[in-house]
Amino acid sequence: MRPAGSRTAGQYLRQRLRGDRRTLIRVLVWTGVESLPAFAAGHAVALAVDRGFLAGAPLVGVGWLALLAAVSAVGAFGARGALLSTAAVVEPLRDALVTRTVEATLRHALTGGRMEQDRSGVARLTRQVEIVREAAGSLLAVVCRFAFSFVGVCVGTLTLEPTAALLVFAPVAVGVGCYLVSLRGVVRAEMRSTLATESLAHEAWRLAAGLRDITAYGLEESALLRFDDVAKENARAEIALARLTALRTLALGMGGWVPLVLVLLWARWGAQGMSAGTVLGVLTYLAQNLRPAVQTLVQGVGTTGIRLFVTLGRLLDDLGPRPDGAGPAPTPAVPTSASSTRAGNGAAGVEVVLESVSFSYPGGANDILSGIDLRVASGEHLAVVGPSGIGKSTLASLVAGTHGPTRGRVLLDGVDLTSLTPARQGALRAYLPQEAYVFTGTLRENLGYLADGPADDRRMDRAVTEFGLADLVSTTGGYDGLVDPGALSAGQRQLIALARAYLSPARLIVLDEATCHMDPVTESRAEEAMRERPGTLVVIAHRMSSARTADRVMVLDGGAPRIGSHHRMLAESDLYRDLVGLWSAKSAAP
């Protein structure tokens, strides 16, 4: 059975080539020009010897060789054109794969993809796509050059000495044909080797990541046995590939050297009346053109070609089908409140429910969050507090949908967050991490980036007033002034991001210490503006003042989370009392 990856790669390449036939024709034309010396070489040498040097007319011989040099110059010009035309075929292929890779990576990330997928996306862009680009260009050039060189040698030999043409054509056809037939098995072996290598690397990574647990539970022997099995499978795959690759040597000998030997034997015992020039001409065709062409073809197809099909097949399998021409998948409707109104640009809130939610990063020994049950009512303001590293930012990313839970569900107004498209998620919520995103552009573009339609000056004026951005507006020269992110302080960038979320239609705002670079007064003002904005607000508190003004507080301490009002948490949670007391002491310090 043909490997699915190679079949997919072949279909993809055929589709790309069919869509660019004019450029492919240019490649063939220029390769034909490049191959003119392959046709002319044998005739020029034969005529130079027979009619020139052996006939006592050295100038005639030099003239024929000069003509060959001129044809070679034309061939060099053709090589330049073939290279440029090949690039015109290959570069769009690379661009298409880069676009598809970026789209797939973003889709995966926006739907709760995990961290190793993000790393693999970088590997695809920096390595696999470049491998495909280089291999596709090299294989196209090799196949075209061999085809024209082989035709040129056969036609040249046939017109020079018809009997010798059979001695040339038959061994080459047998050798190259057998090798091409064996390629299917080589591709399977290469794919098996690739998968075995990936399995070995993955098993080594798992072994290293779980070393502490393996040692703690005394599982060293079983872990080593498992790794040994994977390593042996990798070795078997490599040996099988090496055996099949040995066919390359046989094909090279059959197609490159056997014709040369047969022509020499035939010239010595079988030829009648064949001149020295004719013998040298046929040998020139074979030694200078045919043998290098066969060698390049066998090595190119056997190495570059297999590398291309295996890498492209794996790449396409990992990326999955591209949703070209298809509309977005149906998305469950999220109920909107009948009382939804826009104040500023905010809408009524959304109910957030976490049902037995757990989360762990790939390879992690323990869950960062385990069995979290939470309900945030529509329009409620929830503050989340806890020591550093306890999982507060992870909780924020789960509520915002930038990560998917390992177990359990996150619901927005009763709809599973993972069933919503990225666009629908973006329309429902705004997520602000610690490091605010501000791009090079006008202040109007930055503030209105998430707005539902163009944000007019009146709405922007209100946001500027609420967040104290008047000085920044004046400094940049108004809303149409250019913003340089590098010239802004971290606090200014956070204020711009908060004002952007304020102007958005999002019904849920998630702030992950999004005011950590502000002074207490500016932070209090910004959070007050967000509280007054209609909608649900979840704040990962940077200062305990955020918890004091929240409707409810969620305390994460590594065990079952505690949830209640500020006063209730003071009465029930030792950790919360400690955090409030520590913050109060710091605030009172001169």
Q: Using the predicted structure, report yes or no on whether residue 167 has a pLDDT greater than 70.
A: yes
Q: Using the predicted structure, report yes or no on whether residue 241 has a pLDDT greater than 70.
A: yes
For residues 127, 132, 137, 140, the Cα torsion angle rounded to the nearest 10 degrees is 160
Measure the CA–CA gap between 335 and 413, rounded to whole angstroms: 7
Condensed to tens digits (0 to 9), the pLDDT of residues 388-399 reads 888 898 999 999
Per-residue confidence (pLDDT) for residue 330, from 0 to 100: 46
Higher pLDDT, 168 or 228: 228
Per-residue confidence (pLDDT) for residue 537, from 0 to 100: 94
Higher pLDDT, 326 or 557: 557
Condensed to tens digits (0 to 9), the pLDDT of residues 1-54 reads 444 455 577 788 888 777 778 888 898 899 999 888 888 888 889 889 988 888
Question: If pLDDT is split at 50, 70 and 90, which confidence band does 254 have?
Answer: confident
Q: Using the predicted structure, report yes or no on whether residue 111 has a pLDDT greater than 60.
A: no
Measure the CA–CA gap between 284 and 178, rounded to whole angstroms: 25
Per-residue confidence (pLDDT) for residue 120, from 0 to 100: 54
Q: Using the predicted structure, report yes or no on whether residue 147 has a pLDDT greater than 70.
A: yes
Per-residue confidence (pLDDT) for residue 305, from 0 to 100: 78
Per-residue confidence (pLDDT) for residue 376, from 0 to 100: 93
Over the chain, what is the mean pLDDT?
81
Condensed to tens digits (0 to 9), the pLDDT of residues 327-368 reads 444 444 444 443 333 334 445 788 999 999 998 876 655 788
Provide the β-strand partners of residue 563: 554
Measure the CA–CA gap between 428 and 231, rounded to whole angstroms: 48
Average pLDDT estimate for 244-254: 71
The domains of the chain, with CATH numbers, are 4-319 (1.20.1560.10), 352-588 (3.40.50.300)
Is residue 373 within a helix (H) or strand (E), and if so which, with residue range? strand 369-376
Q: Using the predicted structure, report yes or no on whether residue 126 has a pLDDT greater than 70.
A: no
Higher pLDDT, 115 or 148: 148
Per-residue confidence (pLDDT) for residue 560, from 0 to 100: 83
| Phi, psi of 499, deg, nearest 5 | -65, -35
| Separation of CA 67 from chain center | 51
Per-residue confidence (pLDDT) for residue 124, from 0 to 100: 63
Higher pLDDT, 405 or 256: 405
Measure the CA–CA gap between 42 and 281, rounded to whole angstroms: 4
- By percentage, how much of the chain surpasses pLDDT 90? 20
| Phi, psi of 456, deg, nearest 5 | -80, 170
Condensed to tens digits (0 to 9), the pLDDT of residues 255-310 reads 777 887 888 887 777 666 678 888 888 888 888 887 888 778 777 777 787 778 77
Q: How many helices (H) and strands (E) does the chain have?
A: 24, 12
Tell me, yes or no, if the pTM score tops 0.85. no
Per-residue confidence (pLDDT) for residue 248, from 0 to 100: 67
Q: Are strands 562-564 and 552-555 parallel, antiparallel or unpaired?
A: antiparallel
Query: Which range has the worst mean pLDDT, 134-138, 312-316, 567-571, 579-583?
Result: 579-583
Q: Using the predicted structure, report yes or no on whether residue 465 has a pLDDT greater than 60.
A: yes
Per-residue confidence (pLDDT) for residue 428, from 0 to 100: 87
Average pLDDT estimate for 234-258: 77
Higher pLDDT, 584 or 60: 60
Question: If pLDDT is split at 50, 70 and 90, which confidence band does 324 have?
Answer: very low
Question: If pLDDT is split at 50, 70 and 90, which confidence band does 508 have?
Answer: very high
Per-residue confidence (pLDDT) for residue 320, from 0 to 100: 63
Q: Report yes or no: 466 and 502 within 8 Å, Cβ to Cβ.
A: yes
Identity (one letter) of the amino acid at 97?
L
Condensed to tens digits (0 to 9), the pLDDT of residues 514-569 reads 988 898 889 889 989 998 999 999 999 888 888 888 999 999 887 788 999 989 98
Per-residue confidence (pLDDT) for residue 164, from 0 to 100: 79
Q: b vs e for 376-407, b when ≥16 Cβ sit within 10 Å of the residue's Cβ?
A: bebbbbbbbbbeeebbbbbbbbbbbbbbbbbe
Q: Using the predicted structure, report yes or no on whether residue 92 has a pLDDT greater than 60.
A: yes
Measure the CA–CA gap between 512 and 394, rounded to whole angstroms: 9
Per-residue confidence (pLDDT) for residue 447, from 0 to 100: 92
